[in-house]
Amino acid sequence: MLISTKGRYALRVLIDMAEHQNGDYVPLRDIAARQEISEKYLESIVKVLVRAKLLDGLRGKGGGYRLRREPDQVTAGEVLRLCEGTLSPVSCLMENGERCDRMPVCRTLPLWKKLDSLIQEYLDSVTIADLMRTEAPGNEYVI
């Protein structure tokens, strides 16, 4: 599984919006400048996020985008599935994937099922709010 720039940038956009949204719409040009991503490319990404009802968009003066849900209600898994289509490591586990005739006797299928489960569970456990936190993971240990 390889996450594309579209998926990675979608997460960056949502984090940026959550950090800079104060009830107003956040202009896409501002996000593009802060994230150093082409505004044209971001337009295609926010279109997906608007269609999925993660963002509201407003055109014209004072326009831009804003989150429709709180950052702790949007998971990395949800965003990545929107942008990538699937997070499954092999095609036979994809929702509409190609079914293999060898599935009933496949010795590696349990491996792929477990990996798929771990990927889905982990990404669904991480929210945009989690990604907004600046402390490095693993530095919570105190003596």
Q: What pLDDT, in 10s, does the model give residues 55-81?
A: 999 988 888 999 999 999 999 999 999
What is the reported pTM?
0.85
How far apart, in whole angstroms, are the C-alpha atoms of residue 143 and residue 141? 7
Record the tokens describing residue 128, joined without a space.
């945009």
Q: How many residues does the chain have?
A: 143
pLDDT of residue 139 exceeding 70, the answer is no
Q: For the chain, what is the radius of gyration of the CA atoms? A: 18
CB 14 within 8 A of CB 79: yes
pLDDT tens figures, 5-51:
999 999 999 999 999 988 889 999 999 999 999 999 999 999 999 99
Record the tokens describing residue 30, joined without a space.
């501002």
The count of other CB atoms within 10 Å of the CB of residue 59 is: 8
pLDDT of residue 143: 58
Please name the helix (run of DSSP H) or strand (run of DSSP E) that holds residue 55, with its range, or none.
Answer: strand 55-58
